[in-house]
A = this chain, B = another copy of it.
Amino acid sequence: MSTARATYRHGDLRRSLIEAGVELAREGGPDAVVLREATRRAGVSPNAAYRHFADRAELVDAVSDAAQGAAAAAIEAELDSVPAATGVESAQERLRAVGIGYLRFARDEPGLFRAAFGVPGGLERAFVSEKAGPGGSSPFALLAGTLDDLVRFGALPEERRPGAELLAWSAVHGLAMLVLEGPLHDLDEQTRTMAGRRVVEMAVRGI
């Protein structure tokens, strides 16, 4: 944002570049994260970025982490709306909340969503702190925790727990991507939320 600066050194260029990148991603997804524009917004020459990121892909990765943090925040917000309680009912309700939160984030912040989950990543960094929301957990961690609760309260047989993340995640992710950058691009709002509810229900029932 600040295009002028007094000192030769920037101070915290890495953070500034990520913030600029997040703003670009918000407006146009991961492809809109253009390195030169980020440096421009940070008030710095294009090559300065290469002191902090090996190449554009690495900047996009950092932006993706931050975007996953924002997604975690959205999911946490949805989780907080579920009355805290133990038992099968409540655990299932929390799983629904995770799914709805995920889809809500996709609707409210399509650019950030695609930057968060539409960029190649690896599961080994799924719990890393850069991807965490205000509550300290990454989206994947929130989902995993909810599934653990399902097992604890007997709503999910232990032998079906391994890999259950992939099932639930696939369901909501698929709908989001079909709508955001797939053949369901111009699905109307109403059909979309209806489909969202049913997809979540399918996951809860079919895990």
> What residues of chain A have their CB less than 8 Å away from a CB belonging to chain B?
31, 117-123, 126, 140, 163, 166-167, 169-178, 181-187, 191, 194-195, 198-199, 201-203, 205-207
Complex contacts, A177 vs chain B, CB 8 Å: 118, 173-174, 177
Assembly stoichiometry (copies): 2
Closest to A184 in B: B123
Contact (Cβ within 8 A) B183 A140? yes
Contact (Cβ within 8 A) B166 A121? no
Contact (Cβ within 8 A) B166 A199? yes
How far is A191 from B163 in the complex, measured between Cα atoms in Å? 9
Complex contacts, A205 vs chain B, CB 8 Å: 205-206
Complex contacts, A206 vs chain B, CB 8 Å: 201-203, 205-206
The one of B123, B170, B183 in contact with A117, judged by C-beta atoms closer than 8 angstroms, is B183
Contact (Cβ within 8 A) A175 B186? no
* 5 interchain residue pairs of minimum CB distance: A174-B174, A206-B206, A202-B206, A170-B174, A173-B174
Contact (Cβ within 8 A) A178 B167? no
Known: A174-B174, A177-B174. A184 touches B166 (CB 8 A): yes
